[in-house]
Structure 1
Amino acid sequence: MPGPPFLQAEINAVIARFADVEPTVTTLLGLALDGYGWHPEQGKHTGGALTGKYWAEQVQHAERGLLDFVTFEDSFARTSGGRLDAILTAARVAPTTTHIGLIPTTPATHNEPFHISKSIATLDIVSGGRAGWQVTIADTGDEADAFGRTKVLPLQDLLEEATDSVEVVRRLWDSWEDDAEIRDVATGRFIDRDKLHYVDFEGRFFSVKGPSITPRSPQGQSVVAALARSRPGQAFAAKNADLIFVTPHDGASAAEIPARLHNTAGHRTIKVLADLVVSFGRHDEFHSDAAIFTGQAAELAELIAQWHEWGIDGVRLRPAVNALDIPVVVDELVPLLQAHQGFRAEYESGTLRERLGLPTATNRYARKSA
Structure 2
Amino acid sequence: MSIERMGSESEVRKSLFALGIELDGEGYHPGAWRRADHEPERLLGAQVLRARVAAAENAGFTFASFDDSITPSATAIGGRIDAVTRAGFVAAGTSTLGLVPVVAATYAEPFHISSQLSSLDYASRGRAGWLAADDPGSARTWGAAPRVGDDEVRRERVDSIEVARRLWDSWEDDAVVRDYAAGKFLNRDRLHHVDFIGETFSVKGPSIVPRPPQGQVVVFGYDTAGSGIDVALVSGATVAETLAAVRHAREAGVPRVLVDLTVALDIPGASASERLAELDADTVADHTARLHFSGSTGDLTALLTELSAHADGVRLHLAVIDEDLPALAHYVLPALLRAGIAHRPVPGSTLRANLRLPRPANRYAKELTR
TM-score tier by shorter-chain length is 0.7 to 0.9
Contact 1:24 1:340 in 2 (8 A): no
Give the TM-score of the pair, scaled to structure 1: 0.87
Question: Which residue of the partner structure matches residue 83 of structure 1?
Answer: 80
1:70 CA drift (Å):
0.3
1:147 CA drift (Å):
2.4
| Structure 1: runs of 5 or more not aligned | 1-9, 15-21
- Aligned positions of 1:98-247 closer than 5 A: 98-140=95-137, 143-226=138-221, 228=222, 233-235=223-225, 239-247=227-235
Change (3 A) 1:302 1:190: same
Alignment partners' CA distance in 2, 1:82 and 1:345: 32
Q: What letter corresponds to residue 119 of structure 2 in structure 1? A: T
Alignment partners' CA distance in 2, 1:82 and 1:164: 30
- Aligned positions of 1:1-370 closer than 5 A: 10-11=1-2, 25-26=14-15, 27-44=17-34, 45=36, 47=38, 48-79=42-73, 80-140=77-137, 143-226=138-221, 228=222, 233-235=223-225, 239-265=227-253, 270-281=255-266, 282-283=272-273, 284=276, 286-288=285-287, 289-309=289-309, 311-344=310-343, 347-370=346-369
Alignment partners' CA distance in 1, 2:12 and 2:84: 37
Alignment partners' CA distance in 1, 2:119 and 2:167: 13
Alignment partners' CA distance in 1, 2:256 and 2:355: 8
For residues 299-321 of structure 1, what are the alpha-carbon distances to aligned partners after superposition, in whole Å with 9 as ceiling and x for unaligned? Answer: 11111122222x21111001110
Change (3 A) 1:177 1:150: closer
Contact 1:177 1:365 in 2 (8 A): yes
Question: Which residue of the partner structure matches residue 17 of structure 1?
Answer: none
The 3-state SS of whatever aligns with 1:306 is: helix
For residues 185-242 of structure 1, what are the alpha-carbon distances to aligned partners after superposition, in whole Å with 9 as ceiling and x for unaligned? Answer: 122111000000000001111110000010112101010011x2xxxx3335xx3111
The 3-state SS of whatever aligns with 1:70 is: strand
1:115 CA drift (Å):
0.2
How big is the alpha-carbon RMSD for the aligned residues of Structure 1 and Structure 2? Answer: 2.1
Change (3 A) 1:333 1:23: farther
1:345 CA drift (Å):
5.2
Contact 1:66 1:346 in 2 (8 A): yes
Alignment partners' CA distance in 2, 1:151 and 1:126: 34
Alignment partners' CA distance in 2, 1:348 and 1:53: 23
Percent identical among aligned pairs is 37
Alignment partners' CA distance in 1, 2:246 and 2:13: 20
1:46 CA drift (Å):
5.4
1:355 CA drift (Å):
0.6
Contact 2:111 2:164 in 1 (8 A): yes
| Structure 2: runs of 5 or more not aligned | 5-10, 267-271
Alignment partners' CA distance in 2, 1:363 and 1:188: 26
Contact 2:102 2:132 in 1 (8 A): yes
The 3-state SS of whatever aligns with 1:364 is: coil
Give the TM-score of the pair, scaled to structure 2: 0.87
Q: What letter corresponds to residue 271 of structure 1 in structure 2? A: R
Alignment partners' CA distance in 2, 1:345 and 1:365: 35
Change (3 A) 1:78 1:345: closer
Alignment partners' CA distance in 1, 2:46 and 2:71: 22
For residues 138-189 of structure 1, what are the alpha-carbon distances to aligned partners after superposition, in whole Å with 9 as ceiling and x for unaligned? Answer: 122xx22222345343111000000000001000000000010011112211
Alignment partners' CA distance in 1, 2:187 and 2:330: 50
Alignment partners' CA distance in 2, 1:69 and 1:167: 23
Q: What letter corresponds to residue 291 of structure 1 in structure 2? A: L
For residues 82-129 of structure 1, what are the alpha-carbon distances to aligned partners after superposition, in whole Å with 9 as ceiling and x for unaligned? Answer: 221000110001011111100011100120000000000000001100
The 3-state SS of whatever aligns with 2:224 is: helix
